[in-house]
Amino acid sequence: MYKMELPSNRVKEIVTYFHAELDKMYGKNEVKVFISIIFENVLNINDLNLIYDVFILESELDRINKILQRLKKNEPIQYIFGEAQFYGLKLKVNANVLIPRPETEELVDIIIKSIQIPSCKILDIGTGSGCIAIALKKNIPAAIVTGVDVSKEALSVARDNAKQNNVQIDFKELDILSGVILPPVDIIVSNPPYITNTEKLNMHLNVLDNEPHLALFVTNNDPLQFYKAITGKALKSLSKGGMLFYELNEAYGNEVLSLVKESGFTEAVLIKDMIGKNRILKAVL
């Protein structure tokens, strides 16, 4: 049983209490985002300023309190509501897939701006929720997009998301670390596991305790494991002038860049994200 904690059903006092309980865990700005999401979902209200002095129903207060308890247990708010926003799209998410990140939106944006032939063939490796594949197909309708993942559960989520967003994508189960041969394509994109086990120590519990480790972590002794596998297969799969895009662990950006260049790719460059970290790689074959 959960404990009823919210002191009042007045919106202003609920907001104050959320900050008192959660700011130390998540930070004030993140809690503001939580509050906005909660009131939009529970009350269908987008502007809290309009209802600060409003008293909500007991049933609404009860629902908000249950959400608060889950947030205090480090459960991501996206999993609580079962959805996340990504590149203007609404996507289903659960514990079988990673929650899409802003830097991945930047990756998608770079790919869209790089494509010169709308009818290109795109392969998304480690598709997870399908966020990259779906955003690309939505914005480049003529593209033929395939998404692959080793997880059956993730692929089920991806297929639901494609249907929800009215796009046709071929999702397939595939282990990129196996001897599989990739189909001929013009663009390969991947946001593979790239966090080492050592880096777990610095991660927030809402990620560590909830998001799928299969999609997050690599061993300390081979942090480039997935980049090596994908780069090698991409050499045989990509058309002449084809492009390879990676999301990166900033700590290994230069190593991945060297790997890609030494493999035979040209025009390989690291691209900084919105906060100045080397998080994206673009290369041309």
Phi and psi, residue 279, nearest 5°: -120, -5
Q: What integer pLDDT is reported at residue 161 of this predicted model?
A: 98
Please name which of 236, 232, 260 lies closest in space to residue 246, comparing C-alpha atoms. 260
Interatomic CA distance for residues 96 and 160, integer angstroms: 13
Q: How far is the C-alpha of 120 from the C-alpha of 163, rounded, in Å?
A: 21
24 has pLDDT over 70:
yes
Mean pLDDT on 277-285: 95
> What pLDDT score does 2 carry?
43
**Picking from 2-6, 135-139, 279-283, which range would have the lowest pLDDT averaged per residue?**
2-6
The string of pLDDT tens digits covering residues 54-87 is 889 999 999 999 999 999 999 999 999 999 999 9
- What phi-psi label fits residue 88: left (phi over 0), alpha (psi between -120 and 50 degrees) or beta? left
Q: What is the pLDDT of residues 135-157, one digit of tens each?
A: 999 999 999 999 999 999 999 99
pLDDT exceeds cutoff 80 at 179: yes
Report the mean per-residue pLDDT for the chain. 89
pLDDT of 1: 39
Residue 201: is its pLDDT beyond 60?
Answer: no
List, in sequence order, every residue forming a beta bridge with 145; answer none if it has no partner: 122
Are 170 and 146 spatial neighbours (Cβ–Cβ below 8 Å)?
yes
Q: Which residues pair with 281 in a beta bridge?
A: 246, 270
Of residues 130, 218, 146, the one with CA closest to residue 187: 146
pLDDT at 188: 98
- Beta-strand ranges (E) seen in the chain are 83-86, 89-92, 121-125, 144-149, 170-173, 185-190, 195-196, 217-218, 238-247, 266-272, 278-284
pLDDT-based confidence at residue 49 (cuts at 50, 70, 90) = confident
Provide the whole-model pTM.
0.89
pLDDT at 203: 52
Q: What is the mean pLDDT of residues 233-244?
A: 96
> In degrees rounded to 5, what are phi and psi of residue 133?
-60, -45
Q: How many CB atoms lie within 10 A of CB 71?
A: 21
- pLDDT exceeds cutoff 60 at 164: yes
Only one residue has tokens 């494609």, namely: 162
- In order of 6, 144, 188, 235, 285, the CA distances from 240 in angstroms are 61, 17, 13, 10, 6
